[in-house]
């Protein structure tokens, strides 16, 4: 008879914590590598493209994981519509600022267009993702309620 090793919740939580910290470490090391190569070494995108691709893959992995769990990481239900809109605008401008720095855009017209499109695309992406996550969360809540009955 095969003996199964039973683990208590504390050990399982520690294992998940170490895995989470490992993924976060990889995430930050990739970001640091991209910044160093772009700004300090003045490297072309060919040189740090793999790190950028892996960074984006880690980001998508976390978003999909949160979606599967029904966790809304961007917009809290308690906050008002003004706060949501303000947060989208601020995060869109910050994202655009990073893109401008990475791409080296110097023309004012191009910068303004980049900011507007960044806010539009970033905001619509966040709202669509938040809607999908809330829908998934309601489905999970219904399944849990049905199991209790």
User: What pLDDT is recorded for position 12?
Assistant: 77
Average pLDDT value for residue range 69-96 = 67
Question: From the CB of residue 23, how many other CB atoms can be counted at a distance below 10 Å?
Answer: 14
Q: Give the CA-trace dihedral at 40, 121, 125, 48, to 10 degrees.
A: -20
User: What pLDDT is recorded for position 80?
Assistant: 56
Give the Cα separation of 50 and 53 in Å (integer). Answer: 5
Give the Cα separation of 22 and 34 in Å (integer). Answer: 18
Residue 96: pLDDT above 50?
yes
- Which contiguous run of DSSP H or E holds residue 128? helix 108-148
- Among the listed ranges 74-78, 104-108, 121-125, which one has the minimum average pLDDT value? 74-78
The pair of structure tokens assigned to 11 is: 């050990």
User: What pLDDT is recorded for position 2?
Assistant: 44
Residue 5: pLDDT above 60?
no
């Amino acid at each position: 008879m095969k003996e199964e090793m039973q683990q208590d919740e504390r050990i399982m939580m520690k294992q998940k914590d170490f895995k989470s910290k490992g993924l976060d470490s990889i995430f930050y090391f990739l970001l640091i590598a991209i910044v160093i190569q772009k700004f300090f070494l003045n490297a072309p995108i060919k040189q740090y493209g793999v790190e950028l691709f892996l960074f984006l893959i880690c980001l998508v992995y976390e978003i999909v994981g949160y979606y599967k769990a029904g966790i809304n990481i961007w917009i809290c239900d308690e906050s008002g519509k003004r706060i949501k809109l303000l947060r989208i605008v601020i995060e869109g401008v910050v994202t655009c600022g990073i893109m401008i720095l990475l791409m080296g855009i110097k023309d004012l017209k191009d910068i303004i267009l980049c900011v507007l499109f960044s806010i539009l695309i970033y905001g619509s992406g966040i709202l669509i993702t938040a809607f999908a996550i809330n829908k998934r969360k309601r489905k999970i809540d219904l399944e849990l309620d049905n199991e209790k009955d």
